[in-house]
Amino acid sequence: MSEKDSQANRVVDALVQHLLRVGVDGAGKLPSAAEVARRAYAKTGETEASIDRIVSNHSRMAAGGGFVTGLGGFVTLPVALPANVLSFYVLATRMVGSIAAARGYDTTAADVRTAILLTLTGSDATDLLAKAGVAPVSGRVTAIALRRVPPSLLMVVNKGVAFRIVVKLGQKGLARFGRAVPIIGGLIGGVLDVLLIRRIARKAREQFPKNPELAG
């Protein structure tokens, strides 16, 4: 393996671990996705209303930008992406994880965590699963579709998700996250972030139906 390939692997591995560790499990004062779901349900008393609250709160944070960039170690993460890009994807990961938790999924389970990451890729999810040799059930990439998949394959899928994120951002030159013009650039960036996070939210609601194991 060349030094360039080795460096790329380190970037991808670091991104996967960071999204899961901070986005799903929480860090410092940042609550876990499961805790976000619990708090939202405590406020609303109803699953779908709690999900509406989760999406609304995360959309506001996306519009504001700078989410969790002040966390210790966040800005210095050894990944070749700007802090605000990492911030957005941590935010999106936590939102998807919270929706999954609200619908009854165990966000500590490896297959659920992989499904959370896959949801970030939108229409690319099925292609990523196919390349890893996993056939989604009924078009869904949730834990139901990934159940009984060996951990080694889950790791392949996780890396595939991170690689897609890195490549897509690189191809676009990170332009959509730019803040070159202080006021106008910030406003445009905020609007784009909200649109993207709401698109991811719609996908998450589709991909994580109520966990059938909770039925009855």
Rounded-to-integer distance, Cα 47 and Cα 209, Å = 11
Burial of 30 (0-12, 13-18, 19+ CB in 10 A): middle
User: Are the beta carbons of 63 and 51 closer than 8 angstroms?
Assistant: no
Residue 137's pLDDT is: 59
The dihedral through the CA atoms of 144, 41, 95, 32 has a sign that is negative
Structural domain boundaries, residue 23: 3-210
Secondary structure (DSSP) of 112-135: HHHHHHHHTTGGGHHHHHHHTT-P
| Number of neighbours of residue 147 by Cβ within 10 angstroms | 11
User: Are the beta carbons of 19 and 88 closer than 8 angstroms?
Assistant: no
DSSP category for residue 81: S
**140 by DSSP, 3-state: which?**
strand
Mean pLDDT by 10 residues, the chain (216 residues): 67 85 90 96 96 95 64 44 73 95 93 90 74 67 66 84 72 45 48 84 91 59
Burial of 174 (0-12, 13-18, 19+ CB in 10 A): middle
Tell me how many domains the chain contains. Answer: 1
What are the residues whose beta carbons fall under 8 Å from the beta carbon of 53, sequence distance 6 or more? 40, 43, 44
Residue 216 lies in a domain: no
Rounded-to-integer distance, Cα 127 and Cα 209, Å = 21
Residue 176's pLDDT is: 45
Rounded-to-integer distance, Cα 149 and Cα 198, Å = 29
Burial of 39 (0-12, 13-18, 19+ CB in 10 A): middle
Burial of 193 (0-12, 13-18, 19+ CB in 10 A): buried
User: Per-residue pLDDT tens for 25-55?
Assistant: 998 888 999 999 999 999 999 999 999 999 9
